Amino acid sequence: MRFGRRWTAAGLVAGGVAFALPASVLPALAGSPAQAASPKPLPLERLFDNRAVSEDTRPGDADFDGSGNSLSAQDLRAAGWTPGRVVDLDAARLTWPRSAGTGPDNVVADGQAVRLRGWGEAVTFLVAGSAPDGSGGAVSGTGTVRYRDGSSGTYTLTAPDWRAGSAATKAVGLPHVNSASGQRLEAARLYAVTVPVERGREIASVVLPEDPGPAGDLHVFAATLRQPAPGWTGSWGASTAGYTKVGPWTDQTLRLVVHTSAGGPRARIRLANTFAAAPVEIGRATVAVQGEGAAAHGAPVPLTFGGRRGTSIPAGAQLVSDPVDFRVPADTNLLVSVHLPGPVSAAPVHTQATQRSYSSAPGSGDRTGDSGADAYTGTLTTWPFLTGVDVRGGPGSVVALGDSITDGTNSTADANRRWPDVLARRLRAQSEVPAYGVVNSGISANRVVTDVYTGDGVSTVTSGVSALSRLERDVLAQSGARTVVVFQGINDLRWGTSAQDVIAGLRAVAARAHARGLRVVGATIAPCEGEARCTADADARRQVVNAFLRDSGGVFDAVLDFDAVVRDPQHPARILPAYDSGDHLHPGDAGLQALAESIDLRTLTG
């Protein structure tokens, strides 16, 4: 169903009415039926047949949805999404159309063949749906991946509605919708949607889904092969939990302390501007081994981004630094220093760092190269912007997807006694299985199926979007991910979610991870009687979920019985007192160590 404005060989069609165009213009139009139907795949931009972006002064130039509505070019520029800008989203590099704001900038999917050649682990599309009559429903269709050997496979592409889709999974959110009658204060969103492909097979082209019909139109702005990161291992990671007020930080430097799992001869860092409404400018960045406090052991090593010392990260996007010759020791604290020319009044953060980091004073400038600690007069207990440290070499990584127990809440601060830390040390101390890096993707108060933080706007809520909403970013897009350990669900149950919904969510997590070739290990949910929300009813539902996990019929490749490890044998609904941190919900250091030491390392590799 094509009810939006589109360009055809007959002219401009809007709302079912055709307007003739000069013959001299037709060869330049990208989306003619002849091109769309051609068996020869074409670059996506040559298939563009819809204009979604308008200047605020000329809103009638675009018609995204057939009702005269469009995205604001000014809003996009304010978010850092300028025409032709390369935007990194979930480990994929997508180019925002160069024609945005001046001509056709997306294609309405209807079976067009897109030239997309090479090797990859997935295809990422930058998309949005436009449902009829403002119904707000997602638009979905089945397309085809064609491989160079002549074979093919199908994929399902689902695009949330550009005005009513979830904020939790958006790539970028904009504050206005343009229309012929004026600009409205209404959210508009675009989405990065990634679909799996056959690993190890060269792709020749991708055929977009056929016209979804009455469900609406599926608009594709960009598409790319997501390349694997061969030879890189995730050594440290943290998941963005919210978008909160900070500082404001103005012309000052953050010196963030992180603890490695795997080591290697080269390094790169990952920064993210997740959930943000505006770009953030990065002046300079360095990495060093921690000496004492904010002091570095030796001179900090400068990092670059695309060959430049400074850069900016568009709203909602991520950024990976260039590889640098810097030997990263295993099981060691690093200092990652980032200069923010500012002002920065809100930032994406991981709140429960359980680790002290440092900041220089406002106006103190670029102190990333300082070896000493004198400039760092402030402290932080969060990790803003920084989401990962990768090392060169190694066998890949295990990702721990979880909530506050995985995050290390109530473990000893600055001591790295979270259960993923203990697991990393165990992996390095043996030779029976690969010595994987361990990436901690736990978020305090996080849930499997409910977005506690909505994913939009500055908020004091830092419980993150749901595991289902963040799975792509926090697990599937992690460097060198081989196995994911899923240990989550207690917060859903404590807040009234049914056992059946939690089970359905865990099934979906496992299915999506399996589709990307990851090994998936589930873990039973620990008891918590004595904590205010751990009622008898919540415990009954926990038992139902745990029964499913223990006998999940192949949903998981292996199951860790964390419940059995930490429960009191004399009172199975509560944590063994020796393992209880004192709040009856979170294990303390001894309990976290017991969880990690209970893991048969062979379950991580099959």
For 29-70, the pLDDT digits (tens) are: 333 333 334 469 999 999 999 999 999 999 999 999 999 999
For range 279-302, the mean pLDDT: 98
Q: What is the predicted pLDDT for the residue at 92?
A: 96
Q: What is the mean pLDDT of the chain?
A: 93
- Taking the mean position of all CA atoms in its chain, how far away is CA 331? 25
Q: What is the predicted pLDDT for the residue at 132?
A: 81
What is the spatial distance between Cα 222 and Cα 7, in angstroms, rounded to a whole number? 18
> Of 116, 136, 137, which is closest to residue 125 (Cα–Cα)?
116
Ranked by mean pLDDT, the top range of 1-5, 21-25, 588-592 is 588-592
pLDDT, tens digit, for every residue of 424-469? 999 999 999 999 999 999 999 999 999 999 999 999 999 999 999 9
> Of 423, 402, 257, which is closest to residue 333 (Cα–Cα)?
257
Q: Does domain 395-606 have CATH number 3.40.50.1110?
A: yes
Q: What is the predicted pLDDT for the residue at 214?
A: 87
Helix, strand, or coil (residue 264): strand
Indicate the pairing of strand 519-523 with strand 558-560: parallel
Beta-strand ranges (E) seen in 180-275 are 182-196, 203-207, 217-226, 232-237, 242-249, 252-259, 264-272
pLDDT exceeds 60 at position 528: yes
What is the spatial distance between Cα 573 and Cα 542, in angstroms, rounded to a whole number? 10
pLDDT exceeds 50 at position 581: yes
- Scan for tokens 């020319």, then name that residue: 341
For range 527-546, the mean pLDDT: 98
For range 343-361, the mean pLDDT: 98
What is the spatial distance between Cα 153 and Cα 198, in angstroms, rounded to a whole number? 8
Q: What is the predicted pLDDT for the residue at 302?
A: 98
- Scan for tokens 């605020």, then name that residue: 56
pLDDT-based confidence at residue 587 (cuts at 50, 70, 90) = very high
Q: What is the predicted pLDDT for the residue at 134?
A: 65
519: enclosing H helix or E strand: strand 519-523
pLDDT, tens digit, for every residue of 404-429? 999 999 999 999 999 999 999 999 99
Percent of the chain at pLDDT exceeding 90 = 90
Q: What is the predicted pLDDT for the residue at 215?
A: 85
Q: What is the predicted pLDDT for the residue at 281?
A: 98
pLDDT exceeds 90 at position 17: no
For range 213-227, the mean pLDDT: 94
What is the spatial distance between Cα 364 and Cα 366, in angstroms, rounded to a whole number? 7
* Contact partners, residue 302, CB within 8 Å, separation at least 6: 284, 285, 286, 309, 324, 368, 369
DSSP letter, residue 515: H
pLDDT exceeds 50 at position 282: yes
φ, ψ for residue 264 (rounded to 5)? -175, 170
φ, ψ for residue 213 (rounded to 5)? 80, -140
Peptide bond connecting 343 to the previous residue in cis, omega within 30 degrees of 0: yes
For range 596-602, the mean pLDDT: 98
Q: What is the predicted pLDDT for the residue at 229?
A: 83
For range 146-153, the mean pLDDT: 96
Contact 291, 252 (CB under 8 A): no
* Contact partners, residue 485, CB within 8 Å, separation at least 6: 398, 399, 400, 401, 402, 521, 522, 523, 560, 604
> Of 461, 455, 250, 457, which is closest to residue 345 (Cα–Cα)?
250
pLDDT exceeds 90 at position 494: yes
pLDDT exceeds 90 at position 606: no
Q: What is the predicted pLDDT for the residue at 478?
A: 97
DSSP 78-107: HTT--TT-EEEETTEEEE--TTTTTS--BE
Q: What is the predicted pLDDT for the residue at 30?
A: 35
For range 210-236, the mean pLDDT: 93
The amino acid occupying position 453 is Y
Question: Where in the chain are the domains?
Answer: 6-226, 243-388, 395-606
- Taking the mean position of all CA atoms in its chain, how far away is CA 540? 33
pLDDT exceeds 60 at position 6: no
DSSP letter, residue 468: H
Contact 503, 551 (CB under 8 A): no
Q: Which two tokens stand for residue 381?
A: 């207990």
Contact 212, 218 (CB under 8 A): yes
Q: What is the predicted pLDDT for the residue at 228?
A: 82
Percent of the chain at pLDDT exceeding 70 = 93
Indicate the pTM of the whole model.
0.93
Which residues does residue 158 pair with via DSSP β-bridges, in sequence order? 140
For range 526-537, the mean pLDDT: 98
Q: What is the predicted pLDDT for the residue at 39?
A: 64
| Out of 38-42, 185-189, 277-281, least confident range | 38-42
Q: What is the predicted pLDDT for the residue at 2?
A: 54
